[in-house]
Structure 1
Amino acid sequence: MLILNLHLLQRNKSKSSWNVSSLSNPTVLLLEFCQSTRGELSTPATQTIGNALIANISNAVLALPEGDEFSQANPVEGVALVSVTGLPNNHVRVAITGTDAPPTAEVRAEAQGLVLSVTPGTETDAAQEEDAIQVVVTGEQEEGYVVENATTATRTDTPIRDVPQSIQVIPRQVIEDQNANSLEEVLRNVNGGGSRGFDRGIFTDGATRANNNFRYVPNLGNVERVEVLDGPASVLYGRGGPGGVVNLTTKQPLRDPFYEIEGTIGSYDDYRGRIDLTGPLNDNESILYRLNINYENSGSFIDFVDNEEFAVFPVLGFQLGENTNLTLEGSYERQSSVFTSAVGLPTLGTIFPNPLGEVPRSRFLGEPESESNSTAFNVGYRLEHEFSEDWALRNRFRATFVDFSNRGFRADSLEANNRTVIGGAFDSRAEDELYTMQTEVLGEVQTGIVQHDLLVGLELQRSIERSRRDFPGITRSIDLFDPEYLSESEYDAIFGDFEPTAGEDYSLHTIGVYAQNLLSIGEQVKVLLGGRFNQIFQNTEGIPGFTGPTTFITGSEYIEDSAFSPRVGIVYQPIEPVSLYTSWSRSFEPQTGIDREGNPFVPITGEQFEVGVKTEFLDGRLAANLAAYQITRQNDFLPDPVDPDNFSIQTGEQRSRGIEFDVVGEPLPGLRLIAGYAYTDSIITEGTPDVEGNQRDNVPEHQANLWAVYEIQSGALEGLGLGAGLFFVGDRPGDSQNTFTLPSYLLTNAVVYYRRDRWRVQLNVDNLFDVTYYTEPRGIGVLVGEPLTIRGTVAVTF
């Protein structure tokens, strides 16, 4: 019996081996190689050419000490040659040539990965069982820029070309090349920012991340890649908005030990550190771990603004049996910064001239002692069991606990003298709890020429929010051009102990039942059918005795509602590299909170129509997507005209239409690129008289991105990489009334790095030409973007 164990690991991170052995005469050949995407391998495509059996493994990269091919002659009777070859576009080809006839193969999935069982052929095709060859493929894959499969669109590992909806994947390689430190920086690489003019839901490994993304900002320390599904996806995610789903796929334990330490120093006293550890905890590798630790202590170009973050992400994986795996996950994240409501600057002196002069972009209109703190704790598990090759069960639980506090002075208005800013004191506390349980059954059924990939699921979710606020009733003025700040003692005398005068408790219980069927009709047609029934129970309770200015409810408000969210899509593939598709879907997004009159918010609903084409060029090394869509959203939020700083209203209907184009790939050896363009026409179709018919605020008509990196592949400078990117955001309204416009801007970023053995040294420059730009409306005006920023990084792996 001949056994070939093929372990595919991260490039430049750990060694593995290729074992070619018979029971009577074993031999071992040591190699190093890697994969290009996560550790979920697609089933190899096999074909017979002459006496050779060819198996092509997608999303894999072979990294040998020399060259890109390994072979061994006559490893067993009946087999003349076994060879493994690295191919372009992240493929590995395994070729097994028979002596007298082509071998036969059977592909199956086992706990350690994919197993290719090969029987040497004979002239009579009568090989014996003991002559079987096995190729076992395991391990994690390191991503390039091209990713063929994604899980977000269908909750299964599905080729992107088979999904009748626009989906983009930002792999770890892009995040590393750009040294991105926030989700917003990552989403610059997605056409239109991945929202299509509306809010997007943020998920972690397919589970709702938090009740309030403002209170719980994602940390990228344990993120392997980011998948962005454009448009409604309530059929699978329930709470996702019509703008899309952003799914953070996290790093999972590996069988082969891997240790990485990374440090970064940057402009404005920016210091970061990251540790990534993984490997087995026992001899038979049935217990694996992964631990990511991140720390950041940074200043800012804005006076008195600093930030401190600490995060720990432990993961334990247990192989409970041949077909059963259990993963325990947890996280602790702490962030401390300043009260962000005072970070913005007035429009006079920034985008509009101020007779007194230009306001420095470093000006801070709050108080140095102000603070904003959040602590988040997550715990959960994932249980997966395969009943057979065709049927599997998944069960997942996740609990999230967030404590949030915010205190300081707001910047509420600019006086007529064009220099005095008035702001009121504000102090708030919030506690959030989120419990999610998901159970899914997956199966494959064949009926004639139609293959059915089935998914049936049940999701139970409980969300609790406790909000408390205090308004000390004190305002203070600050000079825009010559600010004087309160001393620490004066600040403490104003705020003192927290004594809330306003607050509410919210609870939301959701039951979701969903089903999906991906039908493959022959080789050219895919039909995606899905539906979800959601039942919600929402309760809002005022706190007796509170008399603060935003306490408008002292009793209870209860809402019970339900909705059915369908999705239908068709993909037609006239030739292998081209997919033509169309789809229709709806969304249902429960809300918590009340309006100024104490009425609970009702769910937001949405509907999308989309058509598009996906194609591949250069033998799959370059992939492109072109899509056109229309989204209609009901019960959307706008600032309350009476009290825009504290309350929102649900105005009726908004509509977004657009065209998107994106391209990603590696067209030449060493050249990686990702680019996109989005045209978005987003208007308020129904609302209050002052906003109806207006463009939606902070939604540009035109947005584009281009990022490219070239790494030298051989010679004395092998491992040296150079890259640059352009990020364009067009003009967009600054408010719903369209009273002012945020100007367009073009950012230029650059990177240079050098990889050698286990070391990586990297220098990133953002906003290379030090452009002054404004990212969004904030407070009484606009939020200023970062000026020229330089960051240096050193990383080493063991």
Structure 2
Amino acid sequence: MKIFYRSLSLFFLCILAQSVYAQSVLTGKILDQSNKPIAGVTVKLLEKNATTSTDAEGEFSFQSMETGTYNISASYIGFETKQVKYNFKNNSQSLIIVIREDDNDLQGVEITGRKEQAYKNTKSFSGTKTETPLRYVPQSISYVTKEVIDDQLAFKASDIIKNISGATHFSFYNNDIALRGYRSGNALINGLRTPTSSWSQPLLPNVERVEVIKGPASALFANTDPGGTVNTVTKKPLDEARKSINFATGSFNTNRLTADFTGPMNENKTLLYRLNLAYQNAESFRVLQGGEDVVIAPSISFIPDDKTQVNFDFVYSKTKSRLDRGQPIFGATAGTNLNSTPISFALGKRNDFENELNLYVTTSMQRKITGYITFNASYMKFMYEEDLLEHRTSNRYAVDAAGNSIPTKMEMQTIRRQGKNYSDNLTGYFITDVKTGPLTHKIVTGYDYIQNETPIGNSNYNATGYRKVDGTVGNYNKNTPALFVMKGGVPVPNVPHFDLINPDYSISEISGYINASSQTEPSKYYVNGVYIQDQISIGKFQALLGLRQEYYTDVTSYKKTDEKTVEQNALIPRIGLVYTPFDQASFYGTYTEGYQPQGAAQIGDPARFGGPFDPLTSNMYEVGAKTEWFEKRLAANISFYQIKQNNILQNAGSEGNPELLDAIGQQTSKGIELDINGSILTNLSVSANFAISRAETTKDEDESKIGLLNPNAPKAQGSLWAKYTFLNPELKGLGVGAGVNYTGKRNTLNVALELPEYTVFTAALYYNIDKFKISGNLNNVFNKTHWVGGYDYNRLYPGAPRNFLIGIGYTF
């Protein structure tokens, strides 16, 4: 009986303890104005100085509560901070807090990370230099978020070009793409200019999203290309703990490891960190290609109060590979079979190498001076280092004694190069919020300084040409064969020809050639720019007015006795108007201009290059609509544009002066683009784009060039990628992905060579269990032979054949 009473007492004691415990827990949920839960919201219990964050369902809780009235605040980037009083009695009712988007409380520079975990991106800095909802930016901005990057198991920038409307590859090289029909080489990181010296494609493990500002962006970012500018946004710290490790392996002997750690470093979350690490060792479908990549990217944000934010980024990115100069094919005449060599075919030797280091440090700061004025500043120091040895073509076929091309042999050269390049980029600007009657203004006034330096000490060691009987080398001249060494009735090359039928990839010692050593010409350019921009709001209308005065200085023979300075300047306007009749749609129109100085050597030495030449100038008219669907989960944007560019330089084809240039009168690009990103259903995500365009020469002194389409600019292209996750219990955790990419016919730099259209399919399978994610991606499902870009018969850029990747990730 005693045992019975003791057991009964223990039972009631447990019930009482559970009741007391249950009554001591305050639970709640944070929703947006569409009643959708928000993850990652910071919730504070002010009386107890306690802080927590909402989970994936928007829920939070505080333990060990006593009956009473409490003040609870909820804050989240891009939303209003809301404080409520709550009379806590017991756990019978959960607290519901609804917070609304607050577009006026946005960052001036990107200090803390994007918490969205979707294919859709809502805000951007690149359109206006302040964090602005994309629907209020009067210009098309395409993007690829880290979620698309992760789902496609992309590792380099070249892997995601297909997700951007109006974008195609020009080559395998760094940022060498065509945008809206124009070749683009400009690159930004977090809105700051970077050098484009690197050959290797940028790596993505530390990337939050890649944005493409369509059309000229000189009014904001100095000299830019007319088709668009690529801006890479790096991952910033979050005020909630997230950690993940991922491993992938697959075709071409690929082995990859990535890690991402972020969260607060102290209890009050004033110090945040993020650390991204990556390593990949992979070969390629191309002979002697592939290599080793390493990324180390820490980031720290310091937010001591609600007026000050500081961020520090450090990125170390190193690549050990070989420089892929593309696929050569037989012959040099129209109609040559593109399949005369396999797409795996590459030129080079086993001992070739290309070691590259990209190292940059970025510091950003935002300080609220008053309730209406904020000062923002960013500085980036970028260093690029190259150590190269390559056996490559001389961009022509071998010749016989009569000077006729031998269609199966390439004339070769070697390049041994070492050097560094430094870049500094400083921007500082004030954001002032004022009202004048019914008008609301957001005025940006700022100053930019950009400089790039190739210092003294960079050097080349080259071998090329044909051997002469006097022990020197030179280009073969069929009219003076007696000056050249002959063997078997053909001139002897300094570097042995590369036989396309019987390729030789063995080690070759360059000291056996007749080499010429030379210093790389030291140079420097710097830009001073001042600008003002006003975003004016009244009712459903927003206008953007911008004006930039730019001063560009180019220095040749830098720090040498014959140093020469060439100065240019430009006044660059930008005008845009946005009409938002209702919350889910905006209609816009814009006019903007672009400006690019021609190089100092080209415009400062008329005897060598011709000219003098005027700067490249461009302008764009664009109209479009930006819409949101399915409770704002999906964004669908359409744009119509016309871009004109003047004074494009090209080689004049002069036999007496091979470096002589002339200027094409005008090129015009017209087109329509559609971008779709986001979720149709909560378990169905989509990224899609489509573009129709025509980019051609419209004015030139040589009438035969009028109507000639720009190289690597298809008339039509598009892609679709979708991911579906099953919700029914039997298939819980299972997901499938599928994609298709179409690119139409394209010209190359040689008007006689056209690249065929292609359609490539991809597929993926995902399985999530607990904190593990297992994925399998199959690219080019039907093994379609295709070329993503090309220069000429001796330099084509084939796409990869069928390949797969298997990935496994753990989140904790």
TM-score range relative to shorter protein: 0.7 to 0.9
C-alpha spacing 1:515/1:590, structure 2 compared with 1 (3 Å):
same
Structure 2 segments unaligned to the other structure (5+ residues): 1-24, 32-37, 59-72, 168-177, 399-404, 465-493
**Are 2:366 and 1:359 equivalent residues in the alignment?**
no
TM-score (norm 2): 0.79
Q: How far apart, CA to CA, are the structure 1 residues paired with 2:758 and 2:103?
A: 52
- Please name the residue that 1:506 is paired with: 523
Instruction: Write out aligned runs for 1:229-308 (5 A).
Output: 229-308=213-292
Q: How far apart, CA to CA, are the structure 1 residues paired with 2:416 and 2:654?
A: 21
Quick check: 2:739–2:761 contact (8 Å CA) kept in 1?
Answer: yes
Classify the secondary structure of the residue corresponding to 1:255.
coil
Quick check: 2:53–2:240 contact (8 Å CA) kept in 1?
Answer: no
Classify the secondary structure of the residue corresponding to 1:475.
coil
Q: Specify the code of the residue in structure 1 equivalent to 2:137.
A: V
**Are 2:150 and 1:176 equivalent residues in the alignment?**
yes
- Please name the residue that 2:485 is paired with: none
Q: How far apart, CA to CA, are the structure 2 residues paired with 1:58 and 1:382?
A: 17
- Please name the residue that 1:558 is paired with: 565
Q: Specify the code of the residue in structure 1 equivalent to 2:630.
A: L
- Please name the residue that 1:191 is paired with: 165
**Are 2:633 and 1:621 equivalent residues in the alignment?**
yes
Q: Specify the code of the residue in structure 2 equivalent to 1:280.
A: P
- Please name the residue that 1:75 is paired with: 87
**Are 2:463 and 1:472 equivalent residues in the alignment?**
yes
- Please name the residue that 1:424 is paired with: 413
Q: Specify the code of the residue in structure 1 equivalent to 2:368.
A: E
Instruction: Write out aligned runs for 1:43-82 (5 A).
Output: 75=87
Q: How far apart, CA to CA, are the structure 1 residues paired with 2:528 and 2:162?
A: 34
User: Shift in Å at residue 617 of structure 1?
Assistant: 2.9
Within the candidate set 397, 409, 416, 1:414 is matched to 397
C-alpha spacing 1:322/1:243, structure 2 compared with 1 (3 Å):
same
Quick check: 1:20–1:75 contact (8 Å CA) kept in 2?
Answer: no
User: Shift in Å at residue 106 of structure 1?
Assistant: 11
User: Shift in Å at residue 80 of structure 1?
Assistant: 12
C-alpha spacing 1:534/1:368, structure 2 compared with 1 (3 Å):
same
Q: How far apart, CA to CA, are the structure 1 residues paired with 2:774 and 2:92?
A: 45
Superposed CA offset, 1:407-428 (max 9, x none): 3222233355532222222333
- Please name the residue that 1:309 is paired with: 293
- Please name the residue that 1:664 is paired with: 677
Q: How far apart, CA to CA, are the structure 2 residues paired with 1:781 and 1:214?
A: 19
Superposed CA offset, 1:650-672 (max 9, x none): 54422111111222231123011
**Are 2:695 and 1:682 equivalent residues in the alignment?**
yes
User: Shift in Å at residue 493 of structure 1?
Assistant: 3.7
Q: How far apart, CA to CA, are the structure 2 residues paired with 1:645 and 1:380?
A: 42
CA RMSD of aligned residues (A): 3.8
Q: Specify the code of the residue in structure 1 equivalent to 2:361.
A: V
Quick check: 1:460–1:510 contact (8 Å CA) kept in 2?
Answer: yes
- Please name the residue that 1:44 is paired with: none
Answer with 379-388 or 703-712: which moved more: 379-388
- Please name the residue that 1:209 is paired with: 194
Q: Specify the code of the residue in structure 1 equivalent to 2:153.
A: N
TM-score (norm 1): 0.80
User: Shift in Å at residue 83 of structure 1?
Assistant: 4.3
Classify the secondary structure of the residue corresponding to 2:800.
coil
Quick check: 1:226–1:249 contact (8 Å CA) kept in 2?
Answer: yes
Q: How far apart, CA to CA, are the structure 1 residues paired with 2:783 and 2:102?
A: 59
Answer with 14-23 or 445-454: which moved more: 14-23
Q: Specify the code of the residue in structure 1 equivalent to 2:736.
A: L
- Please name the residue that 2:591 is paired with: 584
Q: How far apart, CA to CA, are the structure 2 residues paired with 1:315 and 1:110?
A: 20
- Please name the residue that 2:378 is paired with: 396
Q: Specify the code of the residue in structure 2 equivalent to 1:182.
A: K
- Please name the residue that 1:538 is paired with: 554
- Please name the residue that 2:446 is paired with: 457
Q: How far apart, CA to CA, are the structure 2 residues paired with 1:575 and 1:222?
A: 36
Classify the secondary structure of the residue corresponding to 2:314.
strand
User: Shift in Å at residue 598 of structure 1?
Assistant: 5.6
Q: How far apart, CA to CA, are the structure 1 residues paired with 2:292 and 2:661?
A: 31
Q: How far apart, CA to CA, are the structure 1 residues paired with 2:346 and 2:52?
A: 63
- Please name the residue that 1:708 is paired with: 722
- Please name the residue that 2:738 is paired with: 724
C-alpha spacing 1:140/1:190, structure 2 compared with 1 (3 Å):
closer
User: Shift in Å at residue 646 of structure 1?
Assistant: 8.4
- Please name the residue that 1:163 is paired with: 137
User: Shift in Å at residue 558 of structure 1?
Assistant: 2.1
Q: How far apart, CA to CA, are the structure 2 residues paired with 1:106 and 1:617?
A: 20
C-alpha spacing 1:730/1:575, structure 2 compared with 1 (3 Å):
same
Classify the secondary structure of the residue corresponding to 1:241.
coil
Identity %: 26
- Please name the residue that 1:115 is paired with: none
Q: How far apart, CA to CA, are the structure 2 residues paired with 1:774 and 1:350?
A: 18
Within the candidate set 521, 544, 548, 2:538 is matched to 521
Quick check: 1:350–1:358 contact (8 Å CA) kept in 2?
Answer: no
Q: How far apart, CA to CA, are the structure 2 residues paired with 1:354 and 1:493?
A: 35
- Please name the residue that 1:11 is paired with: none
User: Shift in Å at residue 778 of structure 1?
Assistant: 4.0
Q: Specify the code of the residue in structure 2 equivalent to 1:508.
A: Y
Quick check: 2:77–2:106 contact (8 Å CA) kept in 1?
Answer: no
Q: How far apart, CA to CA, are the structure 2 residues paired with 1:108 and 1:739?
A: 55
- Please name the residue that 1:369 is paired with: 351
User: Shift in Å at residue 263 of structure 1?
Assistant: 1.2
Q: How far apart, CA to CA, are the structure 2 residues paired with 1:164 and 1:246?
A: 17
- Please name the residue that 1:128 is paired with: none
Within the candidate set 278, 285, 302, 1:318 is matched to 302
C-alpha spacing 1:760/1:637, structure 2 compared with 1 (3 Å):
farther
C-alpha spacing 1:4/1:450, structure 2 compared with 1 (3 Å):
farther
Classify the secondary structure of the residue corresponding to 1:369.
coil
Classify the secondary structure of the residue corresponding to 2:444.
strand
Classify the secondary structure of the residue corresponding to 1:184.
helix
User: Shift in Å at residue 714 of structure 1?
Assistant: 4.4
User: Shift in Å at residue 267 of structure 1?
Assistant: 0.5
- Higher alpha-carbon Rg: 2
Q: How far apart, CA to CA, are the structure 2 residues paired with 1:594 and 1:238?
A: 20
User: Shift in Å at residue 633 of structure 1?
Assistant: 1.3
Answer with 686-695 or 572-581: which moved more: 686-695
C-alpha spacing 1:401/1:76, structure 2 compared with 1 (3 Å):
same
Q: How far apart, CA to CA, are the structure 1 residues paired with 2:649 and 2:160?
A: 26
Q: Specify the code of the residue in structure 2 equivalent to 1:572.
A: Y
Classify the secondary structure of the residue corresponding to 1:426.
strand
Q: Specify the code of the residue in structure 1 equivalent to 2:190.
A: D
Q: Specify the code of the residue in structure 1 equivalent to 2:538.
A: I
Superposed CA offset, 1:664-721 (max 9, x none): 2311230111211111111123457364441111111111111111012341422221
Superposed CA offset, 1:69-103 (max 9, x none): xxx996359x9976448xxxxxxx459xxxxxxxx
Q: How far apart, CA to CA, are the structure 1 residues paired with 2:552 and 2:323?
A: 34
Classify the secondary structure of the residue corresponding to 1:635.
strand
Classify the secondary structure of the residue corresponding to 1:180.
coil
Q: Specify the code of the residue in structure 2 equivalent to 1:32.
A: D
Quick check: 2:349–2:507 contact (8 Å CA) kept in 1?
Answer: no
Q: Specify the code of the residue in structure 1 equivalent to 2:160.
A: V
Superposed CA offset, 1:91-121 (max 9, x none): xx459xxxxxxxxx9999699xxxxxxxxxx
Quick check: 2:760–2:784 contact (8 Å CA) kept in 1?
Answer: yes
Q: Specify the code of the residue in structure 1 equivalent to 2:773.
A: R
Q: How far apart, CA to CA, are the structure 2 residues paired with 1:472 and 1:702?
A: 42
- Please name the residue that 1:45 is paired with: none
C-alpha spacing 1:152/1:543, structure 2 compared with 1 (3 Å):
closer
Classify the secondary structure of the residue corresponding to 1:700.
coil
Structure 1 segments unaligned to the other structure (5+ residues): 9-13, 36-53, 61-71, 86-92, 96-104, 112-137, 545-553
